Structure 1
């Protein structure tokens, strides 16, 4: 069952485009981009989620990330 977001596709695409432009400006490699994305996720969890909920939300986030990867490699 698809997950419905409370955010519009346009809003998400606009932000992603702006962030991608920053990475391009700094010629960031894929590993640097992933490291920054991980740091952002960690900071959001630590600053905005109750301590007793962080692990569960991080696990759900990790599972959603894994599920979103195109698994065409068998």
Structure 2
């Protein structure tokens, strides 16, 4: 069953392009890029979700990342 997003593909692709352009502009290696994106994800989770749901959000995010990496 396909997942229906409330965000358009165009919106998502534009933000990803901007993130990647920033990393490229700063000559960030793959390792540094992943570190920065991981830290950003952690900050987003801490700043936007109640403490009691953060672990589940992080687990769901991790599972989605693992699936995307296959």
- Coarse TM-score class (shorter-chain normalised): over 0.9
1:54-74 Cα distance to aligned partner (Å, 9 max, x none): 0011001100110111x3xxx
Which of structures 1 and 2 has the bigger CA Rg? 1
What RMSD, in angstroms, separates the aligned Cα atoms of the two structures?
A: 0.9
Q: Distance in 2 between matches of 1:33 and 1:48?
A: 22
Q: Distance in 1 between matches of 2:29 and 2:3?
A: 30
Matches within 5 A, 1:1-74: 1-69=1-69, 71=70
1:26-50 Cα distance to aligned partner (Å, 9 max, x none): 1100001100111011101111100
Q: Under a length normalisation based on structure 1, what TM-score does the superposition of the two structures give?
A: 0.88
> What is the aligned residue count?
70
Q: Which runs of 5+ in 2 are unaligned?
A: none
- Which structure's residues are more often helix, by fraction? 2
